[in-house]
């Protein structure tokens, strides 16, 4: 899916992307890497949650290539960096790969972008985040395979005002997606730390289709400093601004200051499973 000027106003469609990339069988490429049987099925929401957890524990997030040479939105590139090399990618390409896998299962899925300047954005640069919405058994769910340290790793039902929590992780937060009371067609992703607290708005979005040009435009703004993230079975590893944070599900944290490229390369290899990267051409670390 190389993006040309003539394609800027075309809608992004997983079906079209699949037709253009028939050479790839994503079940065969991905499931064995996640230690899932090739016949693994998505019969219930618990199956989706398992798939999302394993996906996040295998594929790291990083923005190395964006910092080095700008964004590349192309299926061959996504397969090479994420599946063949195992280096990971930004949330946009990460969720496109997850969406292609769901599409191969026959799941109706749509790529969605956070609304720029939406209601009460509580985290920086979140307006350039992409994720998927799927339809399963006549209900719609947000399925976000890569939201770094904000990830919940399970499908969130759209319109369930009570809220839901994950089953396979020790994350005690409660999540929900409700309709905006002030703007028609706007949905608000919310979270709260426990049942005693109030929900807070994380981001807003709508279900409008996005254009290929929007993907190219947004991808140019993922340059926010070098970032690495990956989930592990007891928490997550997160590197940014010269600091490695090891956060455990029980609430404890470890902080490691990274003082030079040699130390950073060791950390990237040990914690994020990324080998043979060149940091010299990356100015903003």
Is pLDDT of 132 > 90?
yes
pLDDT at position 276 is 76
Cβ distance 204 to 282 under 8 Å? Answer: no
Q: Report pLDDT digits (tens) over 186-218.
A: 999 999 987 778 898 899 999 999 887 777 766
pLDDT at position 110 is 96
**Arithmetic mean of pLDDT, 132-137:** 97
- Report the chain's mean pLDDT, rounded to a whole number: 87
Is pLDDT of 73 > 80?
no
> Which of 197, 34, 83 has the alpha carbon at shortest distance from 96?
83
Query: 188 forms bridges with which residues in the sheet?
Result: 178, 204
pLDDT at position 3 is 45
> Which of 233, 229, 57, 253 has the alpha carbon at shortest distance from 147?
229
pLDDT at position 52 is 96
For the chain, the C-alpha Rg in angstroms (whole number) is 18
Q: What percent of the chain has pLDDT over 90?
A: 58
Instruction: Band the pLDDT of 277: cuts 50, 70, 90.
Output: confident
pLDDT at position 244 is 97
Cβ distance 12 to 208 under 8 Å? Answer: no
Q: Which residue has the higher pLDDT, 261 or 156?
A: 156
96-124 in b/e form (b: 16+ CB < 10 A) is bbbbbbbbbbebebbbbbbbeebeebeee
Mapping DSSP onto H, E and C, the string for the chain reads: CCCCHHHCCCECCHHHHHHCCCCCCHHHHHHHHHCCCCCCCCCCHHHHHHHHHHHHHHCCEECHHHHHHCCCCCHHHHHHHHHHCCCCECHHHHHHHHHHHHHHCCCEEEEEECCCCCCCCCCCCHHHCEEEEEEECCEEEEECCCCHHHCCCCCEEECCCCCECCCCCCCCCEEEEEECCCCCCCEEEEEECCCCCCCEEEEEECCCCCEHHHHHHHHCCCCCCCEEEEEECCEEEEEECCEEEEEECCCCEEEEECCCHHHHHHHHHHHHCCCCCCCCCCCCC
Is pLDDT of 98 > 50?
yes
Is pLDDT of 28 > 60?
yes
**Arithmetic mean of pLDDT, 80-97:** 91
pLDDT at position 240 is 92
């Amino acid at each position: 899916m190389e993006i040309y000027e003539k394609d800027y106003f075309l809608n992004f469609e997983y079906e079209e992307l699949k037709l253009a990339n028939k050479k790839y069988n994503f079940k065969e490429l991905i499931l064995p890497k996640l230690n899932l049987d090739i016949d693994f099925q998505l019969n219930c929401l618990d199956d989706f949650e398992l798939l999302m957890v394993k996906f996040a524990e295998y594929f790291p997030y990083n923005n190395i290539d964006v910092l080095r040479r700008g964004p590349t939105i192309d299926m061959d590139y996504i397969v090479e960096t994420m599946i063949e090399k195992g280096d990971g990618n930004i949330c946009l390409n990460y969720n496109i790969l997850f969406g292609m896998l769901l599409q191969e299962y026959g799941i109706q899925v749509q790529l969605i972008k956070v609304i720029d300047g939406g209601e009460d954005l509580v985290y920086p640069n979140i307006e350039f985040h992409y994720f998927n919405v799927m339809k399963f058994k006549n209900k719609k769910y947000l399925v976000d395979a890569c939201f770094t340290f904000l990830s919940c790793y399970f499908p969130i039902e759209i319109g369930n005002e009570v809220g839901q929590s994950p089953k396979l992780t020790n994350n005690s937060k409660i999540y929900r997606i409700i309709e905006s009371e002030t703007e028609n067609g706007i949905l608000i992703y919310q979270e709260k730390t426990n049942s005693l607290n109030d929900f807070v708005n994380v981001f807003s979005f709508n279900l409008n289709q996005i254009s290929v040009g929007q993907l190219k435009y947004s991808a140019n703004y993922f340059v926010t400093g070098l970032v690495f993230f990956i989930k592990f079975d007891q928490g997550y590893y997160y590197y940014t601004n010269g600091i490695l944070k090891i956060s455990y599900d029980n609430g404890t944290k470890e902080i490691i200051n990274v003082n030079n490229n040699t130390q950073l390369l060791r950390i990237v290899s040990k914690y994020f499973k990324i080998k043979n990267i060149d940091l010299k051409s990356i100015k903003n670390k």
